[in-house]
A and B are shown apart, each in its own frame.
Chain A
Amino acid sequence: MREIALGQYYQTSSIVHSTDARVKLLISIAYLVMVFFVETYIGFGVLAVCFLLTVFASRVPLFKVLKSLKVILFLAFFTFLMTMLFYGGAKKTVVWEWWIIKIYEGQLYACGLVLLRLVFLVLGPTMLTFTTTPVELTDGLEWLLKPLALIGIPIHSGALVMSMTLRIIPNLIDETDRIINAQKSRCADFDSRNIFKRAKAMIPILVPLIASSFRKADELADAMDSRCFVGAKNRTRMRKLRFTWRDPIALILFAAEFTVILWLKFNFFPFVDLSTVGWIV
Chain B
Amino acid sequence: MSVTIENLSYIYDKKAVFKKNALFDVSLKVEDGDFFALVGRTGSGKSTLAMHLNGLIRKQTGVILIDDFDFDKKINLKALRAKVGIVFQYPESQLFADTVALDVGFGPKNLKLDPKEIDARVRDSIGAVGLDYDEIAGKSPFELSGGQMRRVAIAGVLAMKPEILVLDEPTAGLDPQGKKDIMELVSSLRSSLKAVIMISHNMDEVAKYCNKVALMDEGRLVGVFTPRQLFRDDTVERYGLLLPSAVSLAHKLKAAGVINDADILGEDELVAKILEAKNIK
Contacts and interface: CB of A to CB of B under 8 A. Distances in A.
Contact of A182 (B78, B88, B110, B142): B88
Interface in A170-226: 175, 178-179, 181-189, 203-205, 207-208, 211-212
A208 B111 contact: no
Interface in A95-129: none
Nearest to B79: A187
A209 B86 CA distance: 19
B65 interface: no
A141 to B, nearest CB: 31
B93 A208 contact: yes
Given A182-B88, A184-B81, A188-B110, A203 B93 contact: no
B56 A185 contact: yes
Interface in B62-109: 77-78, 81-82, 85-86, 88-89, 91, 93-97, 106-107
A183 B56 CA distance: 11
B93 A212 contact: yes
A203 B88 contact: no
A204 to B, nearest CB: 5
Given A204-B106, A207-B96, A212-B93, A187 B82 contact: yes
Contacts of B160: 186-187
A140 B142 CA distance: 41
Given A181-B51, A203-B96, A204-B106, A186 B81 contact: yes
Contacts of A185: 54, 56, 81, 85-86, 88, 157
Interface residues of B, number: 26
Interface in B107-137: 107, 110-111
Contacts of A2: 12
A187 B157 contact: no
A189 B110 CA distance: 7
Nearest to B95: A208
Given A204-B106, A207-B96, A187 B111 contact: yes
A203 B103 CA distance: 12
> On chain A, which size bracket covers the interface?
20 to 34
B40 interface: no
Contacts of B89: 178
Most chain B Cβ neighbours within 10 Å, of A178, A181, A186, A208: A186
A178 B142 contact: no
A114 B125 CA distance: 63
Interface of B: 12, 51, 54, 56, 77-78, 81-82, 85-86, 88-89, 91, 93-97, 106-107, 110-111, 142, 156-157, 160
Counting from the closest, the 9 A-B pairs by CB-CB distance are A187-B110, A207-B96, A182-B94, A186-B107, A185-B86, A204-B96, A182-B88, A208-B96, A187-B78
Given A178-B89, A183-B94, A186-B106, 6 more contacts: A185-B56, A185-B85, A186-B81, A186-B157, A188-B110, A208-B94
23 contacts: A2-B12, A178-B88, A182-B88, A182-B93, A183-B94, A183-B106, A184-B81, A185-B85, A186-B81, A186-B106, A186-B107, A186-B157, A187-B82, A187-B107, A187-B111, A187-B160, A188-B110, A189-B110, A204-B106, A208-B96, A211-B93, A211-B142, A212-B93
